[in-house]
Amino acid sequence: MTEDWRVRLRASGYRLTPQRELILGAVERLGHATPDEVHDEVRKHSSAVNLSTVYRTLEVLEELGLIRHTHLSDRAPTYHSNTGHEHFHLVCRNCKEVISVDPGVVLPLVAQLREEHGFTADIGHLTVFGHCANCKEPETC
CATH number reported for the structural domain that contains residue 120 in this entry: 3.30.1490.190
- 61 and 96 belong to one structural domain: no
Residue range of the domain that includes 115: 88-135
Quick one: pLDDT band at residue 82, thresholds 50, 70, 90?
Answer: confident
Cα distance between residue 1 and residue 92, in whole Å: 30
Is residue 2 scored above 60 in pLDDT?
no
Tally of domains within the chain? 2
Is residue 5 scored above 90 in pLDDT?
no
Average pLDDT, the chain: 87
Pairing of strands 127-130, 67-70: unpaired
What's the mean pLDDT in 45-54?
A: 89
> Does 140 fall in a domain?
no
Write down the pLDDT at residue 141: 35
Pairing of strands 88-92, 98-101: antiparallel
Is residue 37 scored above 90 in pLDDT?
yes
Q: What is the pTM of this model?
A: 0.75
50-72 residue pLDDT tens: 999 999 999 999 998 889 888 88
